[in-house]
Amino acid sequence: MRPLLRVEGVDKSFTIHVRGELRMQVLSGVNFAVAPGECVALDGPTGAGKSSILKMIYGNYSADRGSVLYCHRDGDIDIAAADPRSLLALRRRCIGYVTQSLRAVPRVATRAIVAEPLISTGSPPDQAIAQAEALLRRLNMPSQLWDLPPATFAGGEQQRVNIARAFVAAHRLLLLDEPTASLDEENRGVVRDLIHEKKRDGVGIVGVFHDSGERRAVADRIVDVTRFSPQWRNLA
């Protein structure tokens, strides 16, 4: 089966300005692939570079070297080299991302935030709102909150909005950065079910999971990021 995503020979370093422009390499030679319907979990200690890998796949971070290839029907797209317009189009139609914190436009209602990915790709607004409401209901979000902006919500409520927004659309690739970290057990179970449903639909997933039980419950394969982390390799 043709991979949906290929990360090939990727290096990443950061400049530490408070240390006299010190250049610190955090990742070297990252290599892995993700097939349609497969969940690949990134494992490793805090600081090993798991979230940085997700951000390079999404295009938020640039790569020093290497390729991040999304296998589009019209040919591979190298996210590491894509221009901003192509990258935005790819995100809108193909890649969903659950970050560790919700970033939403202030004063916009929750149901509109969740429905926006559908509306932006051509779904009728009424249909998009109905799908958003169904997913919010499934994630146990009280209906009285749907017309409120999520900036006023508690952390677990904001994360459920974050999850709903990513899962409502028909993206072929999902990036999940500790999606269940702030959720209670009931809603963790809902998210596990949603992940398995996406996998059955052929969606590829790359995830970071704070809990080993969560990781084992959803991952088909685990990639040890310390293999690509110079600082952790040196400690071995």
Tell whether the model's pLDDT for residue 4 goes beyond 70: yes
Tokens of 229: 């982390």
Helices 155-167, 185-200: inter-axial angle, 10-degree rounding: 10
CA torsion sign for 33, 84, 76, 81 is: negative
Q: Strand pairing of 173-177 and 221-224?
A: unpaired
**Phi first, then psi: what are they for 219, rounded to 5°?**
-85, 140
Tell whether the model's pLDDT for residue 236 goes beyond 70: no
Of residues 232 and 155, which shows the higher confidence score? 155
**Which strand (E) or helix (H) includes residue 69?**
strand 65-72
> What confidence score (pLDDT) does residue 74 get?
75
Burial bucket for residue 107 (CB in 10 Å: 0-12, 13-18, 19+): exposed
Instruction: List the Cα angle 101/103/105 in 5-degree steps.
Output: 155
Of residues 25 and 188, which shows the higher confidence score? 188
- Give pLDDT tens digits for 208-224: 998 888 999 999 999 99
| CA 218 – CA 192 distance, rounded (Å) | 7
Tell whether the model's pLDDT for residue 17 goes beyond 70: no
> What confidence score (pLDDT) does residue 139 get?
97
> What confidence score (pLDDT) does residue 19 get?
60
Question: Average pLDDT for residues 140-151, to the nearest whole number?
Answer: 94
- Give pLDDT tens digits for 82-139: 999 999 999 999 999 999 877 766 789 999 999 999 999 999 999 999 999 999 999 9
Indicate the average pLDDT of the chain. Answer: 91
Tell whether the model's pLDDT for residue 235 goes beyond 70: no
| CA 39 – CA 16 distance, rounded (Å) | 33
Question: Average pLDDT for residues 48-64, to the nearest whole number?
Answer: 95
Report the predicted TM-score, pTM, of the whole model to 2 decimal places: 0.93
> What confidence score (pLDDT) does residue 25 get?
86
Question: Average pLDDT for residues 153-170, to the nearest whole number?
Answer: 93
Please give the C-alpha separations between residue 150 and each of 104, 144, 161, in angstroms, as whole numbers. Answer: 8, 12, 8
